[in-house]
Structure 1
Amino acid sequence: MKRFNRLFFSVLLIFTALTLAAQQEVTIKILETSDVHGALFPFDFIRNKPMDGSLARVFTYVKQERSKSDQQVILLDNGDILQGQPTVYYSNFIDSANPNIVSQMLNYMGYDAATVGNHDIETGPAVYQKVVKESNFPWLGANAVSTTTDHPVFKPYTILERNGIRIAVLGLITPGIPKWLPKILWPNMQFNDMVESAKYWVKHIQKKEKPQIIIGLFHSGYDATYGGANAEERNNENAALLVAKQVPGFDVILIGHDHKELAKKYPNINGDSVLVLDPGSSARMLSEATITISIDKCKKVKSKKVEGKLIAMKGYEPDTDFLNRFSDFYSKVNDFVSKPIGKFTKPISSANAYFGPTEFMDLIHDVQLKISGADISLAAPLSFVSNIDSGNITISDMFKLYRFENFLYTMELTGKEIDGFLEHAASLWFNTMTGPNDTLIRFKKENGRIRLYANYYNFDSAAGIYYTIDVSKPEGDRVTITGMADGTPFDFSKTYKVAINSYRGNGGGGHLTEGAGIPHEELAKRVVISTDKDLRLYMMRYIEKQVEIEPQCHYYWKIAPEEWVKVAIERDRKILFNR
């Protein structure tokens, strides 16, 4: 009996050894950048100072990981890279005859795939189609579908192979684009629901490609309730977690769009865990997912371990070869942003715009009214804090004054709709005060921290009319418009020409749809005319023509009760700016 047992265990050991020998274990490291927003070099060309992030720092880490022989590296980008810094603006619109700097850099760094972001679409088809053609890797977007062919405009997914392991990367873009961008930027295109698209494509990939790993590369955030959205409705802007939980099959889902860092596992409807990573913005962080997978000789998965974390780029020196390779372009951009275009007689700051009328916002209003010839201007600060000194104004200062490449619309709105618009802005912006001890600004608590209830770029004010916002009154009944700036009465039934940026004019923020009550499908009909170039360019031309500008505050509006507001502002300023 003992002899039999020895023989049995000997056979078992041999069988186990042969089985293990037939299995192959591979470690795959997936690195993701997202929402780089033109942070290509370790220098902020807008604020004229060094930058913690940048692709130059990312490449140092990528090269380090590629040098390790015990792992295979996959490098992915998740969109919104073509807008943000003067680096990409210069390549997109000024030096557009040459290959785009983004395609050049991502090719040089050896990216394996990228997903298109909404701000990439915002650059227009001439730019993003050029970048797609120039890239040595696919740009993905399974739910961006042609209305003429019913097929994806971009490649829906790509298959990568590492040491015999087949890895599928499925790209999805936020379907909120029609609410923000004019159709001229996405012609013959529609953006389908992410959950529905993911269900279809995962089944397709599993059946046709038979991958051992499936990665989601989604330009979409994790909070499906953001901005009061209903998570159950189709075409949710931030549906990344909805896909993670409702669509089985993913091992890792790499997300972005919301600029909020995240590294966490979530259970899906089958009880499996899905790793979700979001590196935030400006290449300050890098998402890193490590998958250790074992397959047998028939390519069947025997084991799989998935771990993930975010890596701060601040501690990594910019790659010297990278900087040398693109030094000529760096110099061109530096010369471009340093060009003086005029003078300001005094400094202006967007930091003051949260507490009432300011020179900063009224300069934007003045330019919008001058360019459009409209009766009324509506605008919000597009940077949380931007300071522009007196003296020479350069092109880099224009990116502080106006952050995005929005067009300028002239729209027709009734007096009643304008009132509803401003009521909506006030509801996002201001608290309902019961006395001087209350905050003026509407805040919320998030993860133990006090934050703005809504994004500052939804805090619209108006020019061309005089009005008061009474924060002691309930939402929807705070705004009182007392008359036009030219002294004529304001008429709720009259139709006015209104200058407004294309983001807001397409429904962004809900001011026109929820506030003014205009159906989304009717917004385009209200546009009388649109600029053919971005508003920042027209602002630059305006300043160049004026040569010297004395920024003025016209005091078109005020906040009441003034004695409460005065006390609250001092307290709120410390909350907002820690000073």
Structure 2
Amino acid sequence: MTADSIQTTYRFQLLATSDVHGQIVPYDYATKERRRDSLAALAPMIRREREASPELLLLDNGDALQGTPLAHFAARRSCGGTHPIIAAMNELGYDAAVFGNHEFNYGRELLEKAVRESEFPWLSAGIVDRATDEPAFGKPYIIKRINNGTIKIAVLGVTTHYIPNWENPEHIEGLRFQDALETVKHWAAHIREEEKPDLLVVAYHGGFERSLADGTAAERLTGENQAYAMCEAAKEAGIDVIITGHQHRLIADEVLGVTVLQPGFGGETIGKVTVDFEHENGRWTIREKKAELLTPNEWETDEQVTAVVDEAERQTQVWLDEPIGTVEGDMSVREGTIASRMADHPFISFVHRAQMEASGAELSVAAHLAEQPLGFGAQVTMRDVLANFRFPNTLTVLRLSGRDIRDALERTADYFRLDESGEPQVNPAYLEPKPQHYNYDMWAGIEYVLDIRQPVGYRVATVTRNGKPVTDDDSFEVVMNNYRASGGGDYEMFRGRPVVREMMIEQAELFADYFRRYRSVRAECSHSWKVVYE
């Protein structure tokens, strides 16, 4: 063999999905309209990319098993056989997947079944068994050899350790979530020393806590997102690529010399990393690397992917369209994002009534969980319920003081800002890096006024119960979803407060049962609170 015949360059490609949230088919479950985004829409691109680059690596970066009625039906009603989302991923030949926080929403039994059914490993270095301190679900990383085994690729999987702040404790019993940043540092050093890879990829189900442009804080630095800190540690740790998720952002960039990706959510894009290797001085080195986002063609879908979920989809559609009750009056939400949160509304009033009846609590906290809430029309189906209640939250009753309530109202009032003309608008912090309208709460059982002309922290004008002022020392039983009860959304005043009782039925099922029990529900509200700005 002559020197000229020795291969001196090699191009490697990696594809990554993240936050698909059960969107396997290009279908909007609320409107029944076709949509472009879905795993089935990404699949033709995946197949073409793999045909062009047979040694391509395909990863999923978490939050695959929750988010659509299909995912809910598969978890709660069972479609029989392999979980449909896993079946779709198996069909596409994923090389590995990382646990997202929403993977735990339906409990350990369903998750472990999904892992067993997967024809690929699930990775998370930082989720360990409390008893042994060993990785709870098997491999923290995988090694792939390419180019006839001469090039070694390592992929380390890690998950945001903030999960215990949101998740039902029963769903994560026996698990410990180690700090994701420290986990990456530890395992990257181990991989570099033991495996000596030519490329080290971190697949992190978490996002960026700082601006990619200048490193300034983009959110409260709670530890939920640590990708920028990982980029800062990358040179010492030897990390070349970081795939991110969780925030549902579209990112293809370089940060402090690290190639970074985040491919949105629901199958809107797939992330692609191209790495050009060069062989010199007896070893392979990285000559160039590039990140990009690939967008699916508007009407192209993969029939093989849709076929493996076809029966589960059929069963889901039948279940979604079963009538469960009717509404007397108007419970639809026609107002925009701001208007639907400025004063009491019949839809939110219904949520409060159902929550208080189920829990026996004196007060209730609720939020619009859909970015564009729909409410209910004259006839209500399970499709309508799930369109409004996207997350499998349960209810928790906390004992709160009057001081806690006032602090919580001040936190929720931060949702608003006034523009130059004095009109209300949404605080940009609730829009970027991802929409968080679900962190604006509305209350029942008390009367209150939020004056958003006042500085943040001084916006609660009045708080009364039955016309009597609520004092700091007053005590109430308050029902809310388990995410909020754990302090989710930076409601620190709820964290650690006494838990009076828990209702383990999911909110969607609870509201559906309410309609089944009463058949007809009147649209009404008490007009007990408002937001003023003029």
TM-score higher than 0.5: yes
Tell me which of 459, 475, 482 is aligned to 1:502. Answer: 482
Tell me which of 220, 243, 249 is aligned to 1:229. Answer: 220
The Cα offsets for residues 115-156 of structure 1, whole Å up to 9 and x where unpaired, read as 000111222111211111111111111111222111121321
The Cα offsets for residues 436-484 of structure 1, whole Å up to 9 and x where unpaired, read as 93232343499xxx97997211111110111111223333232244532
Q: Is the 8 A contact 1:37 1:83 kept in 2?
A: yes
Tell me which of 13, 25, 30 is aligned to 1:29. Answer: 13
**Higher mean displacement: 309-318 or 498-507:** 309-318
Report the secondary structure of 1:441's partner residue: strand
Tell me which of 436, 452, 457 is aligned to 1:476. Answer: 457
One-letter amino acid of the counterpart of residue 249, structure 2 = K
Cα distance, 1:488 vs structure 2: 6.1
1:378 aligns with 2:365: yes
Aligned counterparts of 1:146 and 1:264: Cα–Cα separation in 2: 35
1:458 aligns with 2:433: no
One-letter amino acid of the counterpart of residue 107, structure 1 = N
One-letter amino acid of the counterpart of residue 87, structure 2 = Q
Report the secondary structure of 2:21's partner residue: coil
Structure with bigger helix share is 1
Aligned counterparts of 1:47 and 1:176: Cα–Cα separation in 2: 33
Report the secondary structure of 1:313's partner residue: coil
1:320 aligns with 2:303: yes
1:283 aligns with 2:267: yes
Q: Is the 8 A contact 2:144 2:153 kept in 1?
A: yes
Tell me which of 107, 110, 117 is aligned to 1:134. Answer: 117
Cα distance, 1:67 vs structure 2: 1.9
Q: Is the 8 A contact 1:182 1:506 kept in 2?
A: no
Cα distance, 1:212 vs structure 2: 1.5
Tell me which of 254, 257, 273 is aligned to 1:265. Answer: 254
The Cα offsets for residues 169-194 of structure 1, whole Å up to 9 and x where unpaired, read as 10111111122223222112222222
Q: How many residue pairs align between the two structures?
A: 520
Structure 2 unaligned blocks of 5 or more = 211-215
Cα distance, 1:157 vs structure 2: 0.7
1:545 aligns with 2:517: yes
Tell me which of 502, 519, 525 is aligned to 1:530. Answer: 502
1:481 to 1:533, Cα distance in 2 relative to 1, 3 A:
same
Report the secondary structure of 1:242's partner residue: helix
Report the secondary structure of 2:265's partner residue: coil
Tell me which of 356, 362, 372 is aligned to 2:349. Answer: 362
Aligned counterparts of 2:443 and 2:434: Cα–Cα separation in 1: 21
2:317 is aligned to: 334
Alignment of 1:111-510 (within 5 A): 111-154=94-137, 155-163=139-147, 164=149, 165-224=151-210, 228-230=219-221, 236-248=223-235, 249-267=238-256, 273-295=257-279, 300-315=283-298, 317-345=300-328, 346-349=330-333, 351=336, 352-426=339-413, 428-431=414-417, 437-444=421-428, 455-485=436-466, 490-510=470-490
Report the secondary structure of 1:541's partner residue: helix
Cα distance, 1:550 vs structure 2: 2.1
1:213 to 1:223, Cα distance in 2 relative to 1, 3 A:
same
What TM-score results when the alignment is normalised by the length of structure 1? 0.85
2:213 is aligned to: none
1:138 to 1:214, Cα distance in 2 relative to 1, 3 A:
same
Aligned counterparts of 2:281 and 2:317: Cα–Cα separation in 1: 55
1:121 to 1:439, Cα distance in 2 relative to 1, 3 A:
same
Aligned counterparts of 2:87 and 2:433: Cα–Cα separation in 1: 38
Q: Is the 8 A contact 1:23 1:296 kept in 2?
A: no
Aligned counterparts of 1:295 and 1:315: Cα–Cα separation in 2: 40
One-letter amino acid of the counterpart of residue 29, structure 2 = F
Cα distance, 1:63 vs structure 2: 1.2
Cα distance, 1:414 vs structure 2: 1.2
Q: Is the 8 A contact 2:363 2:446 kept in 1?
A: yes
Report the secondary structure of 1:382's partner residue: coil
1:11 is aligned to: none
Percent identity reads 29
Q: Is the 8 A contact 2:393 2:483 kept in 1?
A: yes
Report the secondary structure of 2:23's partner residue: coil
Cα distance, 1:431 vs structure 2: 2.7
What TM-score results when the alignment is normalised by the length of structure 2? 0.91
1:270 is aligned to: none
Tell me which of 32, 52, 59 is aligned to 2:43. Answer: 59
Report the secondary structure of 2:203's partner residue: strand
1:95 aligns with 2:78: yes
The Cα offsets for residues 511-532 of structure 1, whole Å up to 9 and x where unpaired, read as 2x1xx3x5x4x24xx1111112
